[in-house]
Amino acid sequence: MAKGGLDAQARQGYTLIAPPFLYALLILAAPLLTILAYSFLTDGYLEVVRDFTWANYAQVWTDPIVRTVMLRSLTVSALVTLVTVLLAFPVAYYVSFMVRPEKKATWLFLITIPFWTSYLIRVFLWKVILGYNGVINSSLTGLGIIDEPLTFILYNVNSIVITLAHAYAPFAILPIFVALEKIDRSLLEAGRDLGESRAMTFWRVTLPLAMPGVLAAVLIVFIPTIGDYVTPELIGGGKIPMIANLIQVQMLALDNRPLGSALAVTAMAIVALVSIVFLLINRRFLKVRS
Amino acid sequence: MKGQGRGLQAYALLYLLFLYAPIILLPLFAFNSGTIIAFPLQGFTTDWFSQMWANATLRTALTNSLIIAVSAAILATCLGIFAARASTRFEFPGKGGMMGFILLPMVLPEIIVAMSLLVVLLGAGVQLSILTVIVGHVLICMPYAIAILTTAFSSLDKSLEEAAYDLGETRWSAFRLVTLPLVMPGIISSLLISFTISLDEFIIAFFLAGNQPTLPTYIFSQLRFPKQIPMIMALGTVLVALSIVLLALGEYFRRRGNARMGGNPTGGFL
């Protein structure tokens, strides 16, 4: 009887989950498998020839341009992740530990609002803020602090990092906040009672317990930034492409879908590998969760 | 100890300023009569707003975007209800994996989703239009809808439904009369969030719309022309105002839903 009940429950569960799952299967899994298949085919004139080949991957791994762009994408993503998480942690800590409980929702709401406003216009405005005649440079020269516009924030990797750090801020703050909220406050008191200083309590109690949130933040920021297309296009003026721009050029402008697919698959594989290595390195902290 | 708290507070406020810097600048340039987006500001004008109002392409783009966003929001929320109910109410083997797979678009770079879908659609000979954009947007809105709806469904008391069954309601009528009204705030919040995501989504619209403009692809095409930028700033101001209103509504319904079910008021949209 009990087993029959379980089966009925499972059947109902499958019936319910079927529509969204089939949708994801059709619209996400099928296309992903298609580009995986394409990446092993040969590019012919106007169409894809059904000949199995490793040539696309060979080209991806030996082409110096691809290597430069891939390394740049990884560096930019790593920098963005570092900057975003470091800047976000104190804010999450402040909201979780210092803000009164009834005001926390308002703070979180304030933090998430900019995230929901037009991404393109936000990115463009960073160009306006950081540009040659931009807000920062014109006000600094106007005040007589500098004579020449600052060049280190002009249309380069730094400006891409600043823009992306802004765009992904809530993605970093929210998981860290959730982890900090879960910390039993009496543990901190215990640490203090046992004679630890405030800084040591933070270092030995708060930080390890917050680590799952920090790791989630790192992955949530790192993975999408690698595939960002808009920011290099608008801020870098197309002169400092990242991997997404390269994929788009191969797929559409040059109409070489097998090579474009191989690039996309390689990028995904690298992202997955980096994420897994990162998770393995931090396995110790993840145990805290359970 | 007090000093440390104040230092952190100052930092948090500075960080908010960093987050809001672009949004604060937007209306400044939208009402500025100078044609170049730079300081110092020239004078006050509403010309850019009237120019925006008179723009026919922009109106087409807006109509397209609204059609896409409304359809995507409704479809994503409907699919989300199925997934959220399945994951909160039933246990079955492989549930974690299936849910993880449905939620995957949340972390997958959008360019990958857009490109792979584009390759398949072109390969199948499908004509690119706003319909194909809707298909893509439903996929990326669904995880957010599920995240919101799961919270709504999981705070639901199972015994209320059982009581309805005991009182002779069928499975469907119990869902309609008991469950649905209780999760309604979650559904509205999910509709609003999906609508906002779809309205602002650029990558998928850019690659899957064919030659049909949507609001973000129109904005992207105009950013190349310095002459058009003041008008885009005006458009941005309107969009920001609109999203803030929608989000405030979404937050209101979410909190009301939480309050109705006795949940705690903290937690954001994500």
Q: What is the ipTM of this complex?
A: 0.80
- 8 Å CB contact between B120 and A34: yes
Cross-strand pairs, A49: A42
More confident of the two residues B214 and B172: B214
Rounded Cα distance between B269 and B252, Å, is: 12
Per-residue pLDDT band at B268 (split at 50, 70, 90): very low
* Neighbouring residues of B99: CB distance < 8 A, sequence distance ≥ 6: A17, B83, B87, B146
- 8 Å CB contact between A288 and A205: no
Interchain pair B8, A170: CB under 8 A: no
**Which of A117, A202, A279 is the best mutation test for B, with the most CBs of B within 10 A?**
A117
- 8 Å CB contact between B152 and B183: yes
Please, which residues 144-173 of chain B have a Cβ atom closer than 8 Å to chain A? 146
Rounded Cα distance between A273 and A270, Å, is: 5
Q: Note the pLDDT of residue B160.
A: 82
Please, which residues 240-269 of chain A have a Cβ atom closer than 8 Å to chain B? 244, 247-248, 251-252, 257, 260-261, 264, 267-268
Q: To the nearest whole percent, how much of chain B has pLDDT over 70?
A: 91
The helix/strand/coil state of B44 is strand
B12–A contact, CB cutoff 8 A: yes
Q: Note the pLDDT of residue A23.
A: 93
The helix/strand/coil state of B32 is strand
The mean pLDDT value for B256-262 works out to 65
Task: Spell out the domains of chain B, with CATH numbers in brackets.
Answer: 59-88+110-270 (1.10.3720.10)
Rounded to the nearest 5 degrees, what angle is found at the Cα of B63, between the Cα atoms of B131 and B66?
70
Rounded Cα distance between B112 and B115, Å, is: 5
B19–A contact, CB cutoff 8 A: yes
Give the number of other CB atoms < 10 A from CB of residue B19. Answer: 20
> Dihedral (C-alpha) B79, A12, B96, B72: value to the nearest 10 degrees?
0
**Phi, psi (deg, nearest 5) at residue A240:** -120, 75
More confident of the two residues A122 and A1: A122
Amino acid at B266: T
Instruction: Quote the tokens at residue A180.
Output: 């900090």
Residue B3 confidence (pLDDT) above 60: no
Rounded Cα distance between B142 and A161, Å, is: 29
User: If you average pLDDT over every residue of chain B, what do you get?
Assistant: 84
Q: Note the pLDDT of residue A287.
A: 62
User: If you average pLDDT over every residue of chain A, what do you get?
Assistant: 83
Residue B5 confidence (pLDDT) above 70: yes
Q: How far is CA A77 from the centre of its chain?
A: 7
Q: Note the pLDDT of residue A1.
A: 40
pTM of the model: 0.83
Rounded Cα distance between B83 and A3, Å, is: 24
**Phi, psi (deg, nearest 5) at residue A42:** -100, 140
Q: Note the pLDDT of residue B261.
A: 59
Rounded to the nearest 5 degrees, what angle is found at the Cα of A93, between the Cα atoms of A92 and A95?
65
B81–A contact, CB cutoff 8 A: no
Q: Which residues of A touch B146 (CB under 8 A)?
A: 20
H/E stretch holding A179 reads helix A169-182
- 8 Å CB contact between A262 and B114: no
The helix/strand/coil state of A6 is helix
Amino acid at B21: A
Rounded Cα distance between A274 and A268, Å, is: 10
For B175-206, how does the pLDDT look when each residue is reduced to its tens digit (9 = 90+)?
888 888 888 888 988 898 899 889 888 999 99
More confident of the two residues B72 and A244: B72
If you measure CA to CA, which chain B residue comes closest to A121? B236
CA–CA min distance A122, chain B (Å): 6
A89–B contact, CB cutoff 8 A: no
Q: Note the pLDDT of residue B82.
A: 92
Of B132, B174, B144, the C-alpha closest to B157 is: B174
Q: Residues of A141-165 as b/e, b for ≥16 C-beta within 10 angstroms?
A: eeeeeeeebeeebbbebbbbbbbbb
A226–B contact, CB cutoff 8 A: yes
Task: Spell out the domains of chain A, with CATH numbers in brackets.
Answer: 57-289 (1.10.3720.10)
